Amino acid sequence: MLRFIVISGTTGVTENCFIYEWNGQMLIVDCGVGFPDPEMLGVDLVIPDFTYIKKNKEKLKGILISHAHEDHLGSLPFLFKEVEAPIYSTKLVAGFIEDKFADYGMKIPKINVFNPERDSFTVGPFKINPFRVSHSVPDGVGYSIDTPVGRIFHVPDYKFDWTPVDGRPFDISKAAVLASGGVLALASDCLGSTTEGYTKSEKEIETKVEIIAKSASKKILFTTISSNISRIKQAFNVAAKLGRKVVIVGRSIEKKVEIARRLGYLDYPKDLIISPKDAKRLPENGVFYVISGSYGQIGSALYRVAISDHQFISVNANDVVIFSGDPAPPGSKDNVDFVVDRLIELGVDVHYYDTQDDLHVSGHGSQEDIKTLFGIVRPKYFIPIGGTIRHMRAYKSITHDFGSPRDNVFELKDGEVLGIDSKGARLLPEKVPSKSVMVDGLGVGDVGNIVLRDRNVLANEGVVIVVIGVAKDTKKLNTTPDIISRGFVFKGAKESLLRDASFGLKKELERMKDLDAKLARNVTIDFLEKFFHKKIARHPMILPVVVEV
């Protein structure tokens, strides 16, 4: 039986990670990160649960990466701390993977670079035929995977863009030839399944940016995600047309641009790009900044510009900032809104998502794109991936237009396993571990729901620390409890409230016989929780510190 295992990437848009397993041999497709929700205080990244992969690491024969976005390759360094396997990708994706490992100070793994127009290869029992797809980042592919039970198409993020910036559209002819022998199953992107029509072409954006830039009389700041090489190329084209010099600001964009230039995915005149220092010598209408921070990340270059804290760049009235991207990751919109509001306060002419919807187009196919793919592949079974519950359900509705029985569409959740053999496809009763693993600084997986709950209490209610002295010999309280608070009550009410709490707690503890550290802590928490709720209806975190003398 072929087992298709969803580690993550069906109930959320990110953390894409899927396994094909046959006879004790595994193939992974994609290995991405997720982004923390607003309530995940202090969490930097969210990664898939690699428990099953680590437990069966000797079975792993290879990892296919579909394209260069973080939610498809970003968790590779975390997996490779305990597991190693050959990676397969296109040239640009390989460059971004190498950079990702270098960022973490890790050894660069073996990456097998293929050309999707001519190459095929074998990984364990699987024969792989990649084919080019269109997306918002160049060099993306889908995979035709020959398994012992039949051919499966795995097509993550894609759309049908006939005028892509890189000049390489979806390779329909190769996909059609690969599908002509019959396709058992299609696992494909469902994120655009709730959007009518076709997704627009990337080419239209350059015209919109040029119109805005032509009317700018002072400096221009253009921001997009650092991996969107196509969008950065369009910004370079506009700057060159208008005779402006480009200044790249932000480490992430600098590195991605250099990788794309070195590998031949960005071509521009040598004198187009100048340093921030050289930009100071030019008039403001001669400069075009390409700057990181399109998601409003705290500490990013654009964020620092917005709070007037950047080393080289300041903005003033009539400067122009162009956001070419939607605040898509969970929790990012509040950050972007903050940056936009601060820029507007400074008098900047800001072009962004709420005011102009033609500065960004999705990299995901809409309903008609999805129907086109269905028409090319004509699979027996359908597996929606890369979206949420509502996207999977809308995808399922589209399959009905092709006469597919409802039972032939599998809306799999994280951790679920689909079995396919000569009898057909069916959901298996087993599940693999599938919790989201949180990364906080150097810690991986050591932040869980309890830690997050405590952080939320601290953020919303504050903390009360109580120092209690207990005599070892008499088992009695030997001093009035000392109470300190932070983030709990304002100064004026603080002294009297905490004094009353201290005296009340003293009386309560004096009633106890054989008072020890454990009893003192329990009584303190119980008494103060009730006391503060009754007095001011608040519930701070209470931390008793018992000193036995």
Active site residues: 189, 364
As given in the structure block, the two tokens for residue 343 are: 């820029």
270: buried, middle or exposed (CB in 10 Å: 19+, 13-18, 0-12)?
A: exposed
- C-alpha span between 528 and 466 (Å, rounded): 10
Q: Are strands 111-113 and 437-440 parallel, antiparallel or unpaired?
A: unpaired
CA distance 29 to 7: 10
β-strand partners of 426:
419
The 8-class DSSP code of residue 146 comes to E
Nearest CA to 418 out of 378, 377, 383 is that of 383
- In one letter, which amino acid is 38? P
- Alpha-carbon distance 498 to 504, whole Å? 10
To which residue do tokens 């399109």 refer? 294
State how beta strands 482-486 and 463-470 pair. Answer: antiparallel
Give the alpha-carbon dihedral of 130, 10, 30, 369, to 10 degrees. 30
* Token output for 417: 């396993």
Q: Which residues pair with 27 in a beta bridge?
A: 20, 62
CA angle 131, 227, 215 (to 5 degrees): 115
Distances (CA, A) of 180 to 122, 218, 299, 540: 20, 56, 51, 65
d(CA 528, CA 201): 61
Residue-by-residue DSSP string for 19-66: EEEETTEEEEE----B---TTSTT--EEE---HHHHHTGGGEEEEE--
